[in-house]
Structure 1
Amino acid sequence: MKIKDFGVEQWMNEYETKAKYNLGETCVSSFSINSLCKTAGVDEKKFADKLVNRRLTYGAIEGSIPLKEQITRLYQNLTSSEIVTEHGAIGANNLVLNTVIEPGDEVIAVTPTYQQLQSIPEAIGATVKLLPLKRENNYLPDADQLRSLITSRTKLIVINNPDNPTGSLMSKEGLMTIINIAKSVNAYILCDEVYRHLVQNDEYSPSVIDLYDKGISTSSFSKVFSLAGIRLGWIATHDKQLMRDLLSHRDYATISCGQLDEMVGTLALEHQDAILKRNRIIIRKNLAILEEWVKKEPHISWLKPKAGTTTLLHYDFDIPSAEFCDQLMKEYHTLLVPGSCFGIEHSVRIGYAFEAENLKKGLEQVSKFIKGLN
């Protein structure tokens, strides 16, 4: 199967380990086991004893029950049997797309978004129609444009909420509009929700599966729970036949997730309120830092993000984004992701969820670079 090069991942692979200031990071400041236990208020030694004494068998094939029971707390009216674990959200998305989509199917996917959500259906042989998220519409799906794209052949609508890279957030009403359009042709909706809960207020952020029986939610521990290193994610769906199909396909690629990973994930979700409180403080503090920086840079504009850990910064220089980011890296050892990785030129994606001092120092380097372009 031929597939396009994965732009953002290849860019990160090339530059991430070389950067002194990684402003491309998308995860909230990552935990160690020690710092996770401290945030959770758990005795580190007791938890370490559990880890080192666990026999490393395959474990629960479809995901440990304690873990899945904790995941249900992130949704409304969900049972543990409606969840299956995967190797990160990237594994979850891959499994859903390869299970649902067949050659000749029609898929509608928002853009910009995580490229996987567009390129895998295309590689499978589906007709992929792109639904542009436009700045003038706050990077939210345009319902009229979606209606113009959808047909009786549309099998799946793919959205990303909150959106990567823009940080836009669909409301419950916005989600219901998309759902009602999907219902008109009995289409599934896959919503990549890896940034869900990282919001600028404390209100509950609805999932697509809270609202639609053919909704599919994918998520992970990487962004919201600061545990990218455990490589653990999940799929949630109310559709029983779809779950059977997912499990059948999963046998060929996954078997099970790691027992130690699931132990760490369970611990995190048992104390999810403490972790969410910590991580929301980080993103809100850092977004304020970024906002002040944008105000002082006349060549930079943006649409302030509503949620997540990333946003797009637009610049007014006549230089392609890949060249902009490459020069920045070479001259100031500072990493940003070119907007061209998401199909939006003269922009860069920045992450703002890591340590505040690193964000400030990295932005200082970007300012020096911009000054040199004048």
Structure 2
Amino acid sequence: MPVPSNRFWEQWLVAHRAKPEACVTFSLSPSPSLKEYIDELDPGMSLDWSSEDYQGARGLRRQVLDRYGYRPVCDVDDVLITAGAQEANYLALTQLLRSGDELVIDAPGWQQPIVLAEQIGATVKYVPRIEARGWALDLDRLEALVTPKTKVVFICNPNNPTGRVEDEQTLRAVIGIAERVGAHVVSDEVYRGLEWEGPPTPRVATMYERGVSTGSVSKLLGLQGLRTGWMVTRDRKLIADAMVLRENTSEIMNIMGERIAEIALRSDRFAAAVERSRLIGHARIERLDRFVADQPALSWHRPVAGLLGLAYLDRPITAEAFAQRLLAPPYNTFVMAGDAYACPRHLRLGAGGVSHEELELGLSRMAQLLAS
């Protein structure tokens, strides 16, 4: 059946066509330019993929293990390089779910798994995040939702759009619930490395044999244009099945993207890039937090990770109507309405993907509309 549309995609499409002058909803760290990698690329390298590894460049897989802390539990054969975290999620979910199965997913949370499950014919069950508790997962509800039909429990951790991070104790509770029925736990960890407080985000692939961690070079390093990510899991059958599926879709990864990603993940480069992203990102989150504090109509739980947060709009107008007015002249500014996450009274505020000047312009115009 056709892939169903959703409000998340529809809002992006409308905003893209509107060509806004400012944006306060992006989640990407500053993007470097290609010239930063040119000197380390071999101009004589072949762009033919026929001699490459179908799991992705072995050197890149080693770098993923080393930089993101999957060793010693996982090794190079537990990594599949993908076209971003999006393809990693796609490959995992479309191989694990069948019509009539159940997917249990955090809400609010990442929308892609919902679209994929509905296209497959699986039943989607939502485990709520509790706003009054800082968007914590409702573990009691999760326990009640999981049944023998549950094949996947999906979480976005750090969470998009709330910036919540579930700690190791919570993740072990999630794993215990899933293990009871033999379900996989898929954890989208694409914002890992952008934690502003507390310990690093736990890696599900290292905690559970049916755990699947997905990630990419997009959010932390700003390398979204490379379309290079990964799936890490000790379930070798899942990796083999995912490779079969990809052979019949995108076939194999792009050579140039893998080469640049391997350079970006070298230890000296990676450390410097992460330091830069964290310095800029933390200052941006501080700026958003001050903005929310200064607006009587807004309140939020400050994100503990990532460049996103979900702010409650206390005005006699829906978030969708507010976002539409903000996108139109004279404001020409894009903010995502929370109905993309079934939160019609919230706005997704993001501090990434734009210059400091554009962020300030967007916040200024949002403040004008809130004051009106």
TM-score where L is the length of structure 1: 0.93
Q: 1:115 aligns with which of 95, 111, 117?
A: 111
Query: For 1:120-140, what per-residue CA distance to the aligned partner results, in whole angstroms no more than 9, with x for missing partners?
Result: 112201121111112013212
Q: How far did residue 297 of structure 1 move?
A: 0.7
Deviations 1:281-320 (A, max 9, x none): 1111111111111111111111111101111111111212
- 1:234 matched to 2:230? The reply is yes
Q: How many residues align?
A: 362
Between the aligned residues of both structures, percent identity stands at 28
User: Once the two structures are superposed, what CA deviation does each residue of 1:195-252 show, in whole Å capped at 9, x if it has no partner?
Assistant: 1111104843221112111100111111111001111111110112222222222211
Compute the displacement of 1:337 (Å). 0.4
**Among 311, 314, 318, which residue is 2:312 paired with?**
314
Residue of structure 2 aligned with 1:276, choices 274, 292, 317: 274
**What is the CA deviation profile of residues 58-80 of structure 1, one whole-angstrom value per residue up to 9, with x for unaligned ones?**
23322001111100111332211
The equivalent position to 2:59 in structure 1, one of 43, 66, 76, is 66
The alignment partner of 1:181 has SS state of helix
Within 5 Å, which residues of 2 pair with 1:1-374? Answer: 1-16=1-16, 18-34=19-35, 36-37=36-37, 44=38, 46-48=39-41, 50=42, 52-58=43-49, 59-73=52-66, 74-76=68-70, 77=72, 78-201=74-197, 203-270=199-266, 271-330=269-328, 331-354=330-353, 355-372=355-372
The amino acid of 1:25's aligned partner reads F
How far is the alpha carbon of 1:160 from its aligned partner?
Answer: 0.5
Give CA deviations for 1:144-198 in whole Å, capped at 9, x if unaligned: 1111111122111011101111111111111111111111111100111111111
Gaps of 5+ in 2: none
2-side partners of 1:4 and 1:133: how far apart? 24
* Amino acid corresponding to residue 331 of structure 2 in structure 1: Y
- Aligned-residue CA RMSD (Å): 1.5
CA-CA distance at 1:2 after TM superposition: 3.1
Kept after mapping to 2: 8 A contact 1:282/1:353: no
Q: Which amino acid aligns with 1:324?
A: F
Q: Tell me the distance in 2 between the aligned counterparts of 1:202 and 1:147.
A: 26
Shift of 1:366: 0.6
SS in 1 for 2:136: coil
* CA distance, structure 1, for counterparts of residue 126 and residue 202 of structure 2: 24
* Distance in 2 between residues matched to 1:236 and 1:116, nearest whole Å: 18
Corresponding residue SS for 1:9: helix
One-letter code aligned to 2:123? T
Separation in 1, partners of 2:6, 2:219: 19
1: CA distance, partners of 2:120 / 2:69: 31
Give how far 1:365 is off. Answer: 0.9
Q: Is the 8 A contact 1:289 1:360 kept in 2?
A: no
Q: Which residue identity does 2:48 align to in structure 1?
A: T
Partners of 1:321 and 1:346 within 8 A in 2: yes
For the residue of structure 1 that corresponds to 2:53, the secondary structure is coil
Q: CA deviation at 1:32?
A: 0.8
- Retained in 1: the 8 A contact 2:197–2:304? no
C-alpha separation in 2, matches of 1:102 and 1:21: 42
SS of the residue 1:246 aligns to: helix
Deviation at 1:85, TM superposition (A): 1.2
What does the per-residue CA deviation read over 1:63-121, in whole Å, with 9 as the maximum and x for residues that have no partner? 00111110011133221111111111111111111111111112111111121111211
Once structures 1 and 2 are overlaid, which stretch shifts more, 354-363 or 183-192?
A: 354-363
Query: Using a 3 Å threshold, how does the CA distance of structure 1 residues 248 and 81 change in structure 2: closer, same or farther?
Result: same
- The CA distance in 1 between the partners of 2:180 and 2:53, in whole Å, is 38
Secondary structure at the counterpart of residue 304 of structure 1: coil
